[in-house]
Amino acid sequence: MKIITVTSGKGGVGKTTTAINLGAALNFFGKDVIVVDANLTTPNVGLHLGAPIVPVNLNHVMMGKADVSDAIYEHESGTKIIPSSLSVKELRRLNHKKLKEIAKKLRTMADYVIFDSAAGLGEEAISSIEAADELIVVTNPEITAVTDALKTIKMAEELGKSVKGVIVTRVKGNRHEMSVSNIQEMLDVPILGVVPEDNKVLASLRNKDAVLHNYPYSKSSRAYKRIAARIGNISYREPSLMQRVFGR
């Protein structure tokens, strides 16, 4: 099994959306997946999937108050998540280094464990990077986001971590954006896929579910399935035109 940390150089690029929908896509392909909300300061995985407050969360595990198996919750889709607490009171008491220990315990519990990292290069984000087997960096096609992605990649290399590649999200296809070829040239790592700007993503957030579940034939869902198929070396057949037109 693999532990993959989804990270980004800056916030607001679609990192959490990507972590959740990659997990959902791998689960769609029959893989056992756990998505861990390792963004302890501003956790959103539980919010995205309709479980903002749960009896046992990652914070309890990190403080030694619960076993990690008690903090795993299964979404109706089959995707499993470990939410973090929305409380800010506990943050000072958390030892981020414990993420590596938790990752070791989760290694035997799923085919893929996906850590949704904190954005940036602070202690919290670095702990998620150190816990991973490999990283996926999320960026947008704009120079500031790509520059921050480059910093993240360089930091990962300094920590001896493998960067599997980059996912470029919120692509509108206008002339002001950086091209995928320019992004790849600047970052010098594989581009795993491109996710177009899609209003179905916001609609899914309102519905508190992954876009892959709410709108399985949307352009963003199809993009995440293609990326997951590439990551898992899985054969993927694109839906027919009829499915795309009459599906959601």
pTM > 0.95: yes or no: no
Q: Give residue 246's pLDDT.
A: 66
Summarised one tens digit per residue, pLDDT across range 194-223 is 999 999 999 999 999 999 999 999 999 999
> Averaged over 132-148, what is the pLDDT?
97
Give me the residue label for tokens 């035997």: 108
Lowest mean pLDDT among 52-56, 134-138, 158-162: 52-56
The predicted-structure confidence for 166-198, as pLDDT tens digits, reads as follows: 999 999 999 999 999 999 999 999 999 999 999
Considering the domain 2-189, what is its CATH architecture? 3-Layer(aba) Sandwich (3.40)
- Pairing type for strands 112-116 and 134-139 reads unpaired
Q: Which residue has the higher pLDDT, 77 or 155?
A: 155
Distance CA 237, CA 219 (A): 14
Strand 80-82 and strand 73-74: pairing?
A: antiparallel
Task: Decide: helix, strand or coil at residue 70.
Answer: helix
Average pLDDT score over the chain: 93
The mean pLDDT value for 133-137 works out to 97
Torsion angle defined by CA atoms of residues 96, 101, 105 and 106, in that order, rounded to the nearest 10 degrees:
40
Q: Scanning the structure block, which residue is given the tokens 């790592």?
A: 189
CA distance between the termini of the chain: 32
d(CA 12, CA 235): 31
pLDDT digits (tens, 9 = 90+) for 21-44: 999 999 999 999 999 999 988 889
* Residue 73 pLDDT class (50, 70, 90 cuts): very high
Domain boundaries, the chain: 2-189
